[in-house]
């Protein structure tokens, strides 16, 4: 009998860690030390774990529509999605180079009014009410708005308006808000957010109430560890 002996080089053995398992995510979403960014893919390092977990479930379960993500996640359990979410939430926010846009003073005024004051007469709350005074989100369910390219932000607003981002949900706060904004307002807000620097992490949040979860239909409060 002929025995063939294979020598295993320890340096070629890939460790079974979450960091290795999620390397495919970096192809689109980038890594913490990567300066460049793809304008249509958001950075996910340092985002609140509850937000990430909900988005992963939304993609897997058809509440949010992007076919590559749906295929990638279709056989993953809630527990494994939670592991992924917690892993990325513990990463430092990725480097972000603020975009350079010519923004008129009237656009700055309009954007800052909507972001920090809102328009009560039209039922539009200030962005900072939910996303934090520094606009970097609130743990553990509300994402930050900074560090995102203008093209991605405007695309998200378009999806909320058209029902493509959260189709099938009974209610979704961002969909309701986006439909009240004019094209001029969307462009001003997206442009203003995209030129801001990222310097802080998400703020501690108030307790997430069932009322907020019901209003924002994309928030799911049940799951492993919740």
Q: What is the DSSP letter of 59?
A: H
Quick one: pLDDT band at residue 1, thresholds 50, 70, 90? low
- Mean pLDDT, to the nearest integer, of 209-224? 58
Contact 189, 114 (CB under 8 A): yes
Count CB atoms within 10 A of the CB of residue 116. Answer: 13
Q: What is the average per-residue pLDDT within 110-114?
A: 98
Instruction: Answer whether residue 179 shows pLDDT above 50.
Output: yes
Binned at pLDDT 50, 70 and 90, residue 46 comes out as confident
pLDDT at residue 23 above 50? yes
Distance of CA 9 to the CA centre of its chain: 39
As a whole number of angstroms, the distance between CA 46 and CA 147 comes to 11
Residues of the chain above pLDDT 70, percent: 75
Band of pLDDT at residue 170, cut at 50, 70 and 90 = very low
Q: CA 49 from chain center: how many Å?
A: 10
Alpha-carbon span 26 to 112, nearest angstrom: 32
Residue 91: predicted pLDDT: 86
Q: Is the pTM of this model over 0.75?
A: yes
Cα–Cα distance measured from residue 197 to residue 226, given in angstroms and rounded to the nearest whole number: 32
Domains of the chain from N-terminus onward:
39-215 (1.10.760.10)
Residue 152 CA to its chain's centroid (Å): 11
Q: Name the pLDDT band for 77 (thresholds 50, 70, 90).
A: very high
DSSP letter at 43? -
219 contact partners, CB below 8 Å, separation of at least 6: 50, 54, 141, 208, 212, 213
204: which 2 tokens? 């501690």
Among the listed residues 223, 215, 123, the one whose alpha carbon sits nearest the alpha carbon of residue 170:
215
Tokens of 91: 């990463």
């Amino acid at each position: 009998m002929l025995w063939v002996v294979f020598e295993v080089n320890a340096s070629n053995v890939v460790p079974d860690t979450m960091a290795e398992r999620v390397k495919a995510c970096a192809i689109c979403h980038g890594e913490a030390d990567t300066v460049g960014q793809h304008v249509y893919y958001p950075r996910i390092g340092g985002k609140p774990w509850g937000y990430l977990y909900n988005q992963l479930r939304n993609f897997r379960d058809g509440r949010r529509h992007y076919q590559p993500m749906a295929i990638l996640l279709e056989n993953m359990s809630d527990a494994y999605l939670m592991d992924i979410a917690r892993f990325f939430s513990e990463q430092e926010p990725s480097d972000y180079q603020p975009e350079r846009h010519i923004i008129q003073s009237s656009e700055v005024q309009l954007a800052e009014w909507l972001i920090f004051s809102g328009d009560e007469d039209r039922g539009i709350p200030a962005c900072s009410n939910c996303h934090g005074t520094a606009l970097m989100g609130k743990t553990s369910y509300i994402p930050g708005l900074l560090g995102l390219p203008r093209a991605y932000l405007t695309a998200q607003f378009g999806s909320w308006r058209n029902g493509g981002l959260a189709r099938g949900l009974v209610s979704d706060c961002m969909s309701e808000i986006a439909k009240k904004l004019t094209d001029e307002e969307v462009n001003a807000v997206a442009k203003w957010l995209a030129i801001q620097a990222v310097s802080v992490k998400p703020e501690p949040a108030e307790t997430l109430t069932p009322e907020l979860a019901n209003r924002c239909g994309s928030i799911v409060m049940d799951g492993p560890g919740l």
